[in-house]
Amino acid sequence: MGGATPRILVVEDETDLAELYAIYLSDLYDVQTATDGESALEIVDDDIDVVLLDRRMPDLTGDEVLAEIRSRGLDCRVAMITAVEPDIDIVEMQFDDYLVKPVTRDDLRGLVEVLLRRADYDSRTQEFFQLASKKAALESAPDVSVENRSEYRELTERMEELRAGLDETLADLSEEDFRNAFASFPNIEMGENE
């Protein structure tokens, strides 16, 4: 990302909402919009830093767009921004964060800032944050009981494995970096840096 202005791709089939998100972000970032999955896949490339992706779209769904972005090996951070409440199906999805609409200007700006910061982390740390996002989304979803689901247990176990390996890395974070990194996960207990 260097010194260049970060590039954000907003993928939202509601044109007014896509334009609103662009307005929220355009004074800080280079923002492009796409109102369908096909257009998004034409735009997304190695120069895009963050994709804000709706899940429920006609033709190509956000899930399908996400799968294609990952299959291309693109290194952008992807956040699902959707009206779809999370369910256990998100455990296997390769997104970095998950927000349920409606979202505010501050929600979007904070999310993009956190995702851009995470892009500098190594792959283990990024995986930890992906899992933490999924865990937080599942735990906050109404009407979803996940504690007894094997997928949820596996997600939690993998987080613990990663956490054990990351304790040294996390200890090296400054207090401000630590607070910023975990700002969107108030229920995640991380030990000494709290």
> In Å, how far are 6, 26, 62, 119, 128 from 3, measured between CA atoms?
9, 17, 30, 14, 27
Eight-class DSSP state of 102: P
pTM for the whole thing?
A: 0.75
pLDDT tens string 33-58: 999 999 999 999 999 999 999 999 98
Closest CA to 56 of 83, 16, 17: 83
What's the mean per-residue pLDDT of the chain? 85
Q: Has residue 1 got a pLDDT over 50?
A: no
Domain at 7-181: CATH architecture: 3-Layer(aba) Sandwich (3.40)
Banded model confidence at residue 176, pLDDT cuts 50, 70, 90: low
Eight-class DSSP state of 118: H
pLDDT tens string 118-158: 887 878 888 888 888 888 888 887 766 766 678 888 888 98
Nearest 5°: the CA angle 101, 37, 11 is 40
Over residues 77-106, the mean pLDDT reads: 91
Closest CA to 19 of 30, 7, 28, 31: 31
What are all long-range contacts of 173-178, with beta carbons under 8 Å and residues at least 24 apart?
Answer: none
What single-letter amino acid sits at 163?
Answer: R
The residue behind tokens 């199906």 is: 89
The pLDDT score that the predictor gives to residue 95 is 93
Q: Where are the domains of the chain?
A: 7-181
Closest CA to 38 of 7, 59, 67: 59
More confident residue, 76 or 123: 76
Q: Has residue 26 got a pLDDT over 90?
A: yes
User: Could you tell me the strand order of the sheet in which 30-34 lies?
Assistant: 30-34, 7-11, 50-53, 77-82, 97-100
